[in-house]
C-alpha cells in the first residue's frame, strides 16, 4: 500500500458515526479493527489479531514509555491528536538515546464521533509512524456514551532499543554542561490556543509536532558520552522540563534570555495572550544537555538536521542554586524560572 493511498473502506457497515457497538468486542468491533486499524497500520504483528504482539528482542536494554493524548481540538494547525499520539511517545522513547521500534494504540471513542474524523486521526497516526519508522503492533478500542468522553482520546505506549553504551538520564547533569534546544519554543501551545480561541495571525502559527528520533541519533553519533541528558519540552514547556532536570541532578540551570529562540509570531501571540514562551508546550523540541567540550559539535549536528535549523545553546548547568532554574536578562538582571503550579493551558496534548 502506498502512503498516498488513503482510501479505506469507510463507512464501516451502514454507519457514519461511532456506535457503542463498535466497542462491544463483537462483529462491529472486528469490522472497525479490520477495515480501519489493520488497513492503516498494516504489519504482521497486528495482522495476527492476537491479544498480544510477539516481538523478537536482542539481549540488552529497552526503553518503555506511555502517554495519553486528550488535546482539544483534535485537529489544529500543523497536526492532529494522531500526530501527537505517535510523535509524543516516540520522543519520550528517545530521551535515553533509544531507537523507537514498536507502539501500541489504545482508543477511547465517544459515541457519535464521525467515522471520517476517526479515519483522519488514524491516517495521521499511520503517516507519523512511517516517518518515525515505528510499527503499531497492538491496539484496543473502547467506546463511551455520548457526553462521557470528548470525541477521541488516544493512548500510545512504546518500546525503543537502547543500542549505545552511554549513561543518559535526567540525573546526569554536571556543572558546566551546556543546554541546547533544536529550535523555537512555544509553537505548539500557541497554535492550540489560537485555534481554540479563534485567533488568527498574519503569520500562521503551526504546531511543531514531529518525531525527533533521527535528530537524537544525529547528535548522539557526534558527541557520544558527551551527551548527558535529553528531554522533550512538552506540558509546562522548557520551564517545567528544566526544573525537572535540575531537581533530578541536584544542580542549578542558568538560561540566557536573548539566546532563547522564539518565532516572532509566537512572541507576538504570547504578549497578546499574556503567556511566557518558556512555559508553553512544545511537541517537537528536545532539550540536550552536553559537556562544554562538545557543545559546538552538538550545535552543528543539530543545525545540520532539518529539525534543528534554529537550534541554539540556551544556557548552562551551574553548581549553585541547586534544583533551581533562572534566566539572565539582557541588562544583567536575573529572574527565577519556577516550576509552574497551576494550569496555564489545559488539554494541550
User: Which residues within the stretch 159-178 sit at the binding site for its own copies (CB under 8 A)?
Assistant: 159-160, 162, 169-171
Cα–Cα distance between 186 and 189 in angstroms, integer? Answer: 6
Instruction: Pull the grid cell for residue 331.
Output: 541588562
Query: Rounded to the nearest whole angstrom, what is the least distance from the CB of residue 214 to its own copies in the complex?
Result: 17
Q: Which of 35, 107, 227, 277 binds its own copies (CB under 8 A)?
A: 107
CB 252 within 8 A of CB 321: yes
Contacts with 139 (C-beta within 8 Å, 6 or more apart), sequence order: 33, 37, 41, 46, 104, 105, 106, 107
Query: 292 to 311, contacts with its own copies by CB under 8 A?
Result: none
Within 220-279, the residues that bind its own copies by CB under 8 A are: 231-232, 234-236, 240, 244, 248
Q: Does 157 bind its own copies (CB under 8 A)?
A: yes
- Cβ at position 296, least distance to its own copies in Å: 26
Is the Cβ of residue 150 or residue 259 nearer to its own copies in the bound state?
Answer: 150
Set of cell numbers at residue 320: 549553585
Regarding 336 and contact with its own copies (CB under 8 A), the answer is no
* 187 contributes a contact to its own copies by CB under 8 A: no
Q: Which of 139, 261 has the CB closer to its own copies?
A: 139
For its own copies, the closer of residues 57 and 296 by Cβ is 57
Which residue in 12, 67, 84, 313 binds its own copies (CB under 8 A)? 67
If binding means CB under 8 A, how many residues of this protein chain bind its own copies?
A: 86
Query: Whole-number minimum distance, CB 185 to its own copies, in Å?
Result: 15
Which one of residues 78, 149, 284, 308 is an interface residue with its own copies (CB under 8 A)? 149
CA 159 from chain centre, in angstroms, equals: 15
Shortest reach from residue 211's CB to its own copies, in Å: 14
Cα angle value 124/130/134 (rounded, 5°): 110
**Alpha carbon of 78 to those of 198, 205, 223, 277: distances in Å?**
15, 8, 31, 18
CB under 8 A, 24+ apart: contacts of 29-38: 29/141, 32/141, 33/139, 33/141, 35/8, 35/9, 35/10, 36/8, 36/10, 36/12, 36/115, 36/118, 36/119, 36/122, 37/105, 37/122, 37/139, 37/141
Q: From 97-105, 192-200, 258-266, 328-336, give the range in contact with its own copies by CB under 8 A.
A: 97-105
Question: Alpha-carbon Rg of the chain, whole angstroms?
Answer: 21
Among 8, 38, 53, 259, binds its own copies (CB under 8 A): 53
- Separation CA 88–CA 154 (nearest Å): 11
Residues 16-45 contacting its own copies, CB under 8 A: 19-21, 23-30
Is residue 57 part of the contact set for its own copies (CB under 8 A)? yes
User: Is residue 73 at the binding interface for its own copies, with CB under 8 A as the rule?
Assistant: no
Among 139, 183, 211, 252, binds its own copies (CB under 8 A): 139
Q: How far is the CB of 295 from its own copies (least distance, A)?
A: 22
- Count other Cβ atoms within 10 Å, centred on residue 111: 18
115 binds its own copies (CB under 8 A): no
Contacting residues for 341 by C-beta, under 8 A, at least 6 apart: none
Restricting to residues 270-289, which ones interact with its own copies according to CB under 8 A? 281
Q: How far is the CB of 4 from its own copies (least distance, A)?
A: 29
Sign of CA dihedral 32, 37, 42, 45: negative
Amino acid at each position: 500500500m502506498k502512503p498516498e493511498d488513503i482510501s479505506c473502506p469507510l463507512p464501516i457497515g451502514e454507519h457514519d458515526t461511532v456506535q457503542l457497538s463498535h466497542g462491544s468486542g463483537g462483529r462491529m468491533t472486528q469490522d472497525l479493527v479490520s477495515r480501519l486499524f489493520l488497513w492503516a497500520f498494516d504489519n504482521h504483528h497486528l495482522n495476527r489479531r492476537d491479544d498480544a504482539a510477539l516481538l523478537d528482542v536482542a539481549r540488552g536494554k529497552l526503553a518503555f514509555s506511555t502517554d495519553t493524548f486528550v488535546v482539544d481540538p483534535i485537529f489544529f494547525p500543523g497536526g492532529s491528536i494522531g500526530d501527537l499520539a505517535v510523535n509524543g511517545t516516540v520522543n519520550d522513547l528517545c530521551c535515553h538515546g533509544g531507537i523507537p521500534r514498536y507502539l501500541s494504540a489504545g482508543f477511547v471513542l465517544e459515541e457519535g464521533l464521525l467515522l471520517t474524523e476517526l479515519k483522519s486521526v488514524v491516517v495521521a497516526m499511520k503517516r507519523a509512524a512511517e516517518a518515525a519508522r515505528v510499527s503499531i503492533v497492538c491496539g484496543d478500542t473502547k467506546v463511551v456514551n455520548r457526553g462521557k468522553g470528548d470525541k477521541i482520546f488516544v493512548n500510545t505506549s512504546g518500546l525503543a532499543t537502547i543500542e549505545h553504551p552511554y549513561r543518559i538520564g535526567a540525573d546526569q547533569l554536571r556543572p558546566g554542561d551546556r543546554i541546547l534546544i533544536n529550535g523555537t519554543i512555544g509553537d505548539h501551545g500557541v497554535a492550540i490556543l489560537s485555534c481554540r480561541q479563534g485567533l488568527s495571525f498574519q503569520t500562521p502559527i503551526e504546531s511543531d509536532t514531529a518525531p525527533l528520533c533521527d535528530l537524537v541519533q544525529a547528535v548522539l553519533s557526534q558527541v557520544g558520552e558527551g551527551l548527558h541528558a535529553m528531554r522533550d519540552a512538552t506540558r509546562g514547556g522548557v520551564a517545567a522540563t528544566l526544573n525537572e532536570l535540575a531537581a533530578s541532578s541536584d544542580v542549578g540551570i542558568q538560561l540566557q534570555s536573548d539566546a532563547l529562540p522564539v518565532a516572532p509570531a509566537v512572541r507576538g501571540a504570547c504578549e497578546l495572550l499574556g503567556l511566557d514562551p518558556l512555559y508553553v508546550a512544545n511537541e517537537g523540541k528536545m532539550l540536550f544537555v552536553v559537556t562544554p567540550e562538545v557543545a559546538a559539535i552538538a550545535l552543528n549536528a543539530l543545525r545540520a538536521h532539518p529539525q534543528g535549523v534554529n537550534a541554539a545553546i540556551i544556557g548552562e548547568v551551574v553548581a549553585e542554586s541547586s534544583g533551581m532554574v533562572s534566566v539572565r536578562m539582557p541588562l544583567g538582571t536575573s529572574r527565577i524560572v519556577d516550576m509552574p503550579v497551576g494550569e496555564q493551558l489545559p488539554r494541550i496534548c
